[in-house]
A = this chain, B = another copy of it.
Amino acid sequence: MAQGLKVLSAALPQDVKLETRSYDLGAQRWHATGDTLPDAELESLKDHDAILLGAIGDPSVPSGVLERGLLLKLRFAFDHYVNLRPSKLFPNTPTPLAGRPDIDFVVVREGTEGPYVGNGGSMRTGTPDEVATEVSLNTAHGVERVVRDAYERAKARPRKKLTLVHKNNVLVHAGHLWKNIFDRVGQEYPEVTTDYLHVDAATIFFVTQPERFDVIVTDNLFGDILTDLAAAVTGGIGLAASGNINPSGAFPSMFEPVHGSAPDIAGTGKADPTATVLSVALLLSHLGYGDEAARIETAVASDLAERDAAAPRTTDEIGDALAARVSG
C-alpha cells in the first residue's frame, strides 16, 4: 500500500493536491475489536473520490468473515457492478505457457449479482440431513448495465472483440438472460465482433489460445475463476490489478490487487507491490487522469523488462524505482 501511494503521488500533476485518509481494516482490527467494516467508516468512505484497498485476509480469521464483512460489503454497498480486470503479458515476465503467446485482454466481471449475493442458507446444519443452498440472483437491470459497459470498452479498443462467457447449457435461466441481453445490446454495436463460450471451454482457450481474447464479459463467479487463471498465465497474481467500478459515480470506485495479503511474508520486504501500483493506474484512469495512468503502465513495463530474477529487490526498492520512472 505504501508503494502504491508513493507512485500515486509521483504520478499526479504538481497542481493536484492529494488528500488521503487511511482506514485500519482487516485481520488485525477484527482480532482486536471484532469489527470488519463499521457503518460509520462505510459512511465516511463515501466522501472520497476513490478507494485503494490493500490486500486483506489472514488464515487466523475464519473463512468468509473478512470476505463478506469487508470486501464484498464494499462492492455491494457501493454498487461496484463493473469489476475490471485487465490481463497483459508484459515482456520478460514469467508465464507457465510455452511459446509466450501475445496476451492482452480485459475481463469485465459483474460485481453485484450472481452467486455472490449471499442468498443461501442451510437447514439441519451439522446433521446427516443437512441441506445447504446458494442462490444465484440475476436481473435484467444488473446484466444489461455491465454488458453495456463491456461493449463500450470493446468498441474503444483496436480489435473491438467481445466474448460472453457463461454456462447457458446448464444454468439455462441465468444463462439465457445473459445471452439474450448480450445479443440485444450487441445490435447497438455493429462494429464489435461477438462470441460466446461456455466457462469450461473458456478455460481451455485461456491456456491454448489466450491471444484470441480482447474483452470478456461474464458473471461474478465465472469472472472470479477466470481472472485468477488469467493472472496465472500473465505473470502471476503478483501483477494482477483490478477495479471495482461504479460507473455512475454515485459511490466511490475501489481499486485493489487481485492477490491476497500473503501473511507469510508480511514485513519481510519481499512482497511485490506491482499489482497495487497497477491498481493505482486503473484508479487514475477512472478519475480521468489517463496520461498519468499510461505513465505508470509504461513504468511498470520498463521495470519488468529490466528485472533480473537473480537479483530480487525489496518491496520498497521496487516502489522507489517505479516512482522514479513515473516522475522522471
Contacts and interface: CB of A to CB of B under 8 A. Distances in A.
A241 to B, nearest CB: 16
A228 B201 contact: yes
A321 B292 CA distance: 62
Interface stretch (A24-32, A63-71, A76-84): A63-71
Interface in A237-258: 237
Interface string A221-234: 10011111101110
A177 B168 CA distance: 26
A44 to B, nearest CB: 26
A133 B204 contact: no
Contacts of A176: 122, 132
A11 B72 CA distance: 55
A67 to B, nearest CB: 4
Interface string A187-199: 0000000000001
From A132, A133, A229, name the one whose CB has the most chain B CB atoms within 10 angstroms: A132
A283 interface: no
Contacts of A137: 131, 133
A115 B133 CA distance: 9
B140 A128 contact: yes
Contacts of A130: 139-140, 177
B229 A132 contact: no
A204 B228 contact: yes
A95 B64 CA distance: 36
Interface string A95-130: 111110000000000000001101011101011111
Nearest to A121: B173
Interface residues of A, number: 67
Number of copies: 2
A277 to B, nearest CB: 21
A167 interface: yes
A174 B232 contact: no
A242 B102 CA distance: 33
Nearest to A95: B98
A287 interface: no
Q: List 5 tightest A-B contacts by C-beta distance, closest first.
A: A200-B228, A130-B140, A203-B229, A98-B98, A204-B232
Given A96-B98, A122-B176, 18 more contacts: A63-B168, A63-B172, A64-B172, A95-B98, A115-B170, A128-B140, A129-B141, A131-B137, A132-B139, A134-B135, A134-B173, A199-B224, A203-B225, A203-B228, A204-B229, A204-B237, A206-B229, A207-B229
30 contacts: A64-B169, A64-B175, A68-B172, A72-B170, A96-B97, A96-B98, A97-B98, A98-B99, A115-B134, A115-B170, A118-B172, A121-B173, A126-B180, A129-B139, A131-B140, A132-B138, A133-B135, A133-B136, A133-B138, A134-B171, A134-B173, A136-B136, A167-B221, A170-B221, A199-B225, A203-B225, A203-B226, A204-B232, A204-B236, A207-B232
